Amino acid sequence: MPSSKLLGAIAAPAVLSMVCTGLVFAAQPGQAAPPAAPAGSKHDHRKAPRPNIVYVMADDLGWSDLGTGRTNGGHGNDFNETPVLDSLAEEGAVFDNAYASPQCAPTRSALLTGQYATRPTNNIYAVGGINNTTTSPLVGVPQGRADGAVNAVPTEFPTFAETLQDAGYSTGYAGKFHVAATAQEIVESHGFDESWGGGPWSHATVYHASGGTFNDTVAPELDKYAADYSQEYVDENIAPYSQGVSEEQVDALVGTPKHVTDAITDAAIDYIDRSKDKDKPFFTYLSQYAPHFPVANFQARTDLLAKYQAKTPAADPASPAYAALVEGIDQSVARVIDYLEETPDPRNHGRPLADNTLVIFTSDNGGETNQGSFNEPLRGRKSELYDGGVRIPWIVWSGNRDLVKPRSTNHTVINGVDLYPTLASYAGAKLPKRVPLDGIDLRPAFSKGRELDRDLFHHLPGYIRGGAEPGSTIRSGRWKLYYFYTDQRFELYDLQSDIGETDDVSERHPRLVRSLGTKLGAWLDRTSAPLATLRAGQPPVVIDGFTGLTYAEGRLARHRGDTITIEPGEEVPFVLPTR
């Protein structure tokens, strides 16, 4: 495929790089292309060594925030421009039923641990805890670690990165981490050889460096990449990927502070460059702070902001600052893909790195609509259990069709807990013994396009400020069932015919509610899910003549005409009537 750098270099006078449209980039001007496999060579992808892996996560990117419609059922954004991600979605595999948690910390902990939040070795449900209100009728459970680290996974639990390390991988982390008590834990306890910028912070309060350093919400290791933009840097890393931006606007970046999105990309590519010659595969986690709030004009890169301020909005909501942050992520991905396409692979002779690298792109939760994100036609936003809060774009790409089935759309319901067993499968790694991993191996879906049948669960035993109340959900096929603990209410939606969750059909399908509710109760029991408790001062909750199933205090119980009384301080149960 023509290199975006090559096309950008010949576009004049404005810098107008084109979208990459094939599977192989040409080399950039002045650089030799990777040697082709000799004619008649016995080399083929099936004999390639274990693959490299690059995992890219955006922060708060909504389901409908990408330009492509392939990741979101045809609901691509008509204001944001993401040409390279659109191209990867066209060339690779997309999953239009991909889910996360309603906020970033629980998603990131589930990724690392391969476990639902209900497990004691995860126990992270939201940012900052779920017991942050004193007026609610229920009291949320304490979350986090016993040492008081609310958003930190246990250091003694094996993460997927440690499993990859044990299998001989080099592992590097660039960007937001959030679920460690300190930046040092990332490399000391969570399986990464190196880390730049990550720590316990939920977001970067300022996106640009100042005087060659980022502020204290970004770990100082990233300062190595925080120097002001030079002419050489702009020519090499900004101009080739610019579309709809004048040469003058791009050159105006010279001498201005580095944007954290670019610095994280610099760190990731530098790590890949240093790792490729170690005669072992690499795993690189590139975790962007953008487009998380604060979303404001001064946070965006000036060339991209000017582009969107001059653009006429169409039907979808338009936020120039937000769109600029999103396109900055697209350019980051473009740089990584270019590097993989242009760099010979020492472990896979005659091939570029891309031919033996698995690339995954996704987001950590639904979009924050009051910051410029767009989730429609889904209902809800970040911090809610409805699909707008938890459904995310998910793209898988490789230059090797044995790693990823090209041009495929997969409707399998997937989740971040699936990453652990999936990466272990690609890496040929042994899963830790006596660890109850909750995810499934997605490799058959990634590489063969198989539709996998599984149920997906979420549980919130407390409150998210400005968002969800205590509830549990199950997504099973086309159906999504919600249970709300404050009033023992079920809601049921047919996502195939009602993707916006506007028509609650629970009363029309009582048998289906009982069937899915039984699965949900069994899952709560299987994972020993903690429940919110009735707040002191609240009147007891009494359920007379109850026949059905309950879950509380770590066990399932069946009732026939019983009276159930919940006193203040006791768990408010999951209650499923069977008649």
For residue range 517-547, what is the model confidence (pLDDT) as tens digits? 999 999 999 999 999 999 999 999 999 999 9
Alpha helices in 279-345 (DSSP H): 302-309, 320-342
Choose among 264, 286, 437, 457: nearest CA to 357.
286
Q: Would the pLDDT of 361 be above 60?
A: yes
pLDDT at 110: 97
Q: Would the pLDDT of 4 be above 60?
A: no
Dist. CA 180–CA 186, nearest whole Å: 7
pLDDT at 47: 64
Kind of pairing, strands 394-397 and 357-363? antiparallel
Catalytic residue among 75, 104, 208, 259: 104
Choose among 239, 229, 200: nearest CA to 217.
200
Choose among 402, 377, 399, 378: nearest CA to 388.
378
Q: What is the CATH number of domain 53-130+140-209+258-429?
A: 3.40.720.10
In the chain, domain spans: 53-130+140-209+258-429, 470-577
pLDDT at 35: 39
Scan for tokens 């889904």, then name that residue.
378
Dist. CA 362–CA 221, nearest whole Å: 24
Dist. CA 126–CA 531, nearest whole Å: 15
pLDDT tens profile 279-308: 999 999 999 999 999 999 999 999 999 999
- CB 357 within 8 Å of CB 281: no
| Catalytic residue status for 104 | yes
pLDDT tens profile 46-81: 467 999 999 999 999 999 999 999 999 999 999 999
Q: Would the pLDDT of 12 be above 60?
A: no
Q: Which region holds residue 114: left if phi is over 0, alpha if psi is between -120 and 50, else beta?
A: left
**Lowest mean pLDDT segment, chosen from 33-42, 251-260, 262-271:** 33-42
Cβ-Cβ contacts under 8 Å for 250 (sequence gap 6 or more): 15, 234, 238, 239, 242, 303
pLDDT at 244: 95
Dist. CA 502–CA 519, nearest whole Å: 24
Determine the average pLDDT of the residues in 443-451. Answer: 98
Catalytic residue among 20, 75, 178, 259: 178
pLDDT tens profile 397-409: 999 999 999 999 9
Determine the average pLDDT of the residues in 481-508. Answer: 97
Between helices 320-342 and 260-275, what is the axis angle to 10°?
10
Q: Which amino acid is at 380?
A: G
Q: Would the pLDDT of 34 be above 90?
A: no
pLDDT at 513: 98
Question: Structure tokens of 164?
Answer: 């990859």
Dist. CA 241–CA 325, nearest whole Å: 14
CA atoms lying within 13 Å on the CB side of residue 541: 20
Q: What is the CATH number of domain 470-577?
A: 3.30.1120.10
Cβ-Cβ contacts under 8 Å for 46 (sequence gap 6 or more): 402
Q: Would the pLDDT of 33 be above 80?
A: no
**Lowest mean pLDDT segment, chosen from 131-145, 169-183, 554-568:** 131-145
pLDDT tens profile 452-474: 999 999 999 999 988 899 999 99
Between helices 320-342 and 302-309, what is the axis angle to 10°?
130
Kind of pairing, strands 471-476 and 455-460? antiparallel
Q: What band does 36 get if pLDDT is binned at 50, 70 and 90?
A: very low
For residue 62, CA distances in Å to 1, 292, 361, 366, 417 come to 29, 11, 13, 5, 19
Q: What is the b/e burial string over 520-537, where b = at least 16 CB atoms within 10 angstroms of the residue's CB?
A: bbebbbebebbbbbbbee
Mean pLDDT taken over the chain: 91
pTM value is 0.92
Q: Would the pLDDT of 252 be above 60?
A: yes
